[in-house]
């Protein structure tokens, strides 16, 4: 066969692989007929290529050559079948983040135990490891909005058709994504019911009933709930799903000024969530007219950037709705002058998408890298056993290695101090009896003889000596045995209960979230890889040498750097290290984001910058027509996809007089950030 034929088959493999990937990303399982058929065809193509080139497969960028007859084995060596091979552990990531980002992301969200796939495409199960992170975000945001006077409430998830269609511009933007309930059992519903894509039309008719006077304002409500948007694009866990969790705030005010202030205040809280909790740098700004919320006056946003794909992503939005919805739902109030006025309204929301942004921005070839502030486990403790260790040392490794040695010393010291009062009477009685015997013997001139032939006049001395000495002697033996027994029990207890001692110490004294991996059916190396995939910020290693030296090794997930730390200093050092990791992860992401943002003033430089996975800052004239032109031309001139405006940043570079729009040549009014987007 010619090399052209091999290249043709390679192209077919690439195309078929893309089909398989798309099917799996859509949520279909391996047992789905479409997936099975596509995978089968892919395997056939790979087998054909192997025959042509002598290359079995390509793994991690390395070619695996086909073995010749005998496979290089010695004559007579037994053959090995798949069943006889060592059971595969499926440990670690199988694809690099730069090699195939989509495949990496699809794998890491499962391997890190963040989600599980559901049998309805676009719907995912949030496992505890991911939901706990969402709870940390909820906890922070709830505390902050309650300081502003916002109260939590809950509204139904179903919307009547008449309500949903009350605001035409609003429903027009959402109509392709609305899911409708049309049947109840076997009967058709007289009026279809929508599942909320957002809650403006659910809540505002009731605002009209609740708001009567200026004294009822401001009305500040927030709800934590789920929404359904029946996306027809390829669903992606956390980033684009048909059902997702979010918070949505809906407020009503007497003046536009109050609305404007709240919009920016809430947007800054979203910035804090991203930058302070998730360590993801964002760009605050305002959306273009084309990209703003349907039915709103203006939309502000925080935009993040995923460097591995070169795409921007909308992080969270805060909208000023103006008085449009007040007109639709007749939300008016009696003002302080006795007249009637319409309210001004805002809405603002963030979703579980922000978790996906965090994973995408910080991940690496090994797996997740979680910022400490949202990591459910901030420190994982892994002991390193050794078969040559004594039983006691081995148990100390599993047990309370942070405090066991000091505690055992204290136990022995206290035990011996406790035995002193028991030992002293015994010694004193012995001395007193011996002294009495010698005194009596000298006085009566009788030599002391062994007990069986002693004179009966001295029996009282012997009985006294026996009574006192043996009583205290047995008392001494009893306490010695008791101490030995209690010490053994304490050591045995440390073997089981004290495995959590260092974690408890860190949790109690430093408020650190700790997990001690005591599983004995996995090697330390397996545990290292497992917790690295899950992105735990710090791994605390403890081995035999550390036991003797009273030290441990702290390993950072963000840099893989190792640090030897004294056990006595762990409680102080670990919190410091967590702060360093949090800041370092933010600095790393910000440096990459900044180098991925370039300024362009002419169209000829625009598309090449996009193809280099950059965000592009350009002078712009702010017209919808020019925005459509950019979208059209960028799509035509590159296979990477169309560009759109991400935001008009609040922090604007100086715009010199006479600067032209990069696409139309008209006078520019602002600097705008463009990019390909999720």
- Do residues 185 and 167 touch, judged by C-beta distance below 8 A? no
Query: Average pLDDT in the 364-368 region?
Result: 96
230 vs 404: CA distance, rounded Å: 57
Q: H helices of 31-93, where?
A: 33-53
Confidence of residue 383 (pLDDT cuts 50, 70, 90): confident
According to DSSP, the residues that pair with 616 across neighbouring strands are 598, 674
- Rg, C-alpha atoms of the chain: 37
Q: Which CATH number does the domain 127-362 belong to among 3.30.930.10, 1.20.120.450, 3.40.50.720, 3.40.50.10680?
A: 3.30.930.10
Which range, of 79-93, 95-109, 514-528, 631-645, averages the lowest pLDDT? 79-93
What contacts 164, CB < 8 A, 6 or more positions away?
171, 178, 194, 201
User: Phi, psi at residue 441, to the nearest 5°?
Assistant: -65, -40
Architecture of the domain spanning 597-677: 2-Layer Sandwich (3.30)
User: What confidence tens digit (pLDDT) does each residue in 262-284 have?
Assistant: 999 999 999 999 999 999 999 99
Whether residue 25 is predicted with pLDDT greater than 70 in this model: the reply is no
364 vs 372: CA distance, rounded Å: 16
User: Phi, psi at residue 309, to the nearest 5°?
Assistant: -110, -15
Confidence of residue 118 (pLDDT cuts 50, 70, 90): very high
Residue whose tokens read 């949790």: 507
What pLDDT is attached to residue 496? 30
Q: How far is CA 617 from CA 183, 382, 609, 628, 667, in A?
A: 50, 47, 10, 17, 16
Give the class (CATH, top level) of 377-572: alpha beta
Whether residue 455 is predicted with pLDDT greater than 70 in this model: the reply is no
What rounded mean pLDDT belongs to the chain? Answer: 81
User: What confidence tens digit (pLDDT) does each residue in 209-262 have?
Assistant: 999 999 999 999 999 999 999 866 778 999 999 999 999 999 999 999 999 999
Helix (H) or strand (E) holding 65: strand 62-65
User: What confidence tens digit (pLDDT) does each residue in 129-162 have?
Assistant: 999 999 999 999 999 999 999 999 999 999 998 8
Confidence of residue 91 (pLDDT cuts 50, 70, 90): low
pLDDT above 70 coverage of the chain, percent: 72
- Do residues 246 and 346 touch, judged by C-beta distance below 8 A? no
Residue whose tokens read 């625009």: 606
Which range, of 167-176, 211-220, 585-594, 607-616, averages the lowest pLDDT? 167-176
> 323: closest CA among 300, 345, 338, 340?
345
What pLDDT is attached to residue 272? 98
CA–centroid distance for 591 within its chain? 22
What pLDDT is attached to residue 340? 95
User: What confidence tens digit (pLDDT) does each residue in 5-18 have?
Assistant: 666 676 677 777 76
> 172: closest CA among 137, 201, 147, 145?
201
What pLDDT is attached to residue 86? 37
Print the SS3 string covering 347-380: EEEEECHHHHHHHHHHCECCECCCCCCCCCCCEE
Reduced to 3 states, what is the DSSP secondary structure of residue 243? strand
> 108: closest CA among 350, 381, 361?
361
281 vs 538: CA distance, rounded Å: 22
What pLDDT is attached to residue 35? 76
Parse the chain into domains and list their residue ranges: 127-362, 377-572, 597-677
């Amino acid at each position: 066969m010619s090399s052209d034929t091999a290249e043709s088959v390679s192209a077919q493999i690439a195309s078929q692989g893309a089909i398989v990937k798309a099917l799996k990303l859509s949520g279909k399982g391996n047992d789905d007929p479409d997936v099975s058929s596509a995978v089968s065809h892919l395997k056939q193509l790979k087998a054909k290529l192997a025959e042509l080139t002598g290359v079995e497969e390509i793994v991690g960028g390395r070619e695996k050559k086909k073995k010749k007859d005998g496979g290089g084995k010695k004559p007579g060596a037994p053959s090995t079948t798949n069943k006889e091979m060592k059971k595969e552990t499926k440990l670690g990531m199988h694809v690099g983040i730069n090699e195939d980002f989509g495949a990496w992301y699809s794998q890491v969200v499962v391997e890190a135990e963040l989600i599980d796939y559901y049998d309805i495409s676009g719907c995912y199960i949030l496992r505890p490891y991911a939901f706990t992170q969402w709870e940390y975000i909820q906890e922070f945001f709830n505390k902050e909005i309650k300081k502003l006077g916002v109260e939590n409430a809950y509204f139904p998830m179903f919307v009547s058709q008449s309500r949903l269609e009350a605001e035409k511009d609003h429903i027009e933007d959402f109509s392709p994504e609305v899911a409708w309930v049309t049947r109840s059992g076997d009967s058709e519903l007289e009026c279809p019911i929508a599942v909320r894509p957002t809650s403006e039309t659910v809540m505002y008719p009731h605002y009209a009933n609740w708001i009567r006077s200026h004294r009822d304002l401001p009305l500040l409500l927030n709800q934590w709930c789920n929404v359904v948007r029946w996306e027809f694009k390829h669903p992606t866990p956390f980033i684009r799903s048909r059902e997702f969790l979010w918070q949505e705030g809906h407020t009503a005010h007497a003046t536009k000024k109050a609305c404007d202030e709240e919009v920016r205040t809430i947007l800054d809280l979203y910035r804090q969530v991203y930058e302070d909790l998730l360590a993801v740098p964002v760009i605050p700004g305002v959306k273009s007219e084309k990209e703003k919320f349907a039915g709103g006056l203006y939309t502000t946003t925080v935009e993040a950037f995923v460097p591995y794909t070169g795409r921007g992503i909308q992080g969270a939005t805060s909208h000023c709705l103006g008085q449009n919805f007040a007109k639709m739902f007749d939300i008016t109030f009696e003002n302080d002058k006795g007249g009637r006025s319409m309210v001004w309204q805002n809405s603002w929301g963030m979703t579980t998408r922000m978790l996906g942004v965090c994973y995408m921005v910080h991940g690496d070839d090994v797996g997740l890298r979680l910022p400490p502030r949202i990591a459910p486990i901030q420190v994982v403790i892994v002991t390193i056993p050794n078969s040559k260790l004594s039983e006691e040392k081995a148990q100390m490794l599993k047990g309370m290695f942070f405090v066991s040695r000091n505690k055992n010393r204290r136990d022995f010291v206290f035990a011996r101090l406790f035995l002193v009062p028991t030992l002293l009477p015994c010694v004193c009685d012995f001395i007193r009896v011996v002294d009495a015997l010698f005194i009596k013997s000298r006085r009566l001139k009788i030599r002391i003889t062994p007990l069986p032939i002693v004179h009966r006049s001295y029996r009282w001395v012997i009985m006294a000596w026996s009574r006192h000495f043996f009583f205290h002697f047995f008392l001494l033996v009893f306490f010695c045995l008791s101490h030995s027994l209690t010490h053994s029990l304490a050591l045995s207890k440390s073997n089981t209960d004290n495995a959590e001692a260092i974690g408890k110490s860190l949790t109690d004294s430093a408020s650190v979230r700790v997990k001690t991996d005591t599983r004995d059916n996995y090697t330390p190396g397996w545990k290292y890889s497992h917790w690295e995939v899950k992105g735990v910020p710090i791994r605390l290693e403890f081995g035999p040498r550390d036991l003797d030296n009273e030290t441990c090794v702290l390993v950072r997930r963000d840099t893989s750097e190792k640090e030897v730390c004294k056990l006595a200093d762990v409680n102080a050092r670990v919190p410091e290290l967590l702060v360093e990791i949090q800041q370092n992860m933010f600095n790393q992401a910000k440096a990459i984001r900044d180098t991925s943002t370039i300024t362009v003033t002419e169209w000829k430089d625009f598309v090449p910058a996009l193809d280099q996975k950059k965000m592009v800052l350009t002078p712009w004239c702010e017209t919808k027509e020019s925005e459509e032109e950019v979208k059209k031309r960028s799509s035509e001139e590159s296979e990477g996809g169309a560009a759109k405006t991400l935001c008009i940043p609040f922090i604007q570079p100086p715009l010199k007089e006479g600067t032209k729009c990069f696409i139309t040549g008209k006078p520019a009014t602002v600097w705008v950030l463009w990019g390909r987007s999720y």
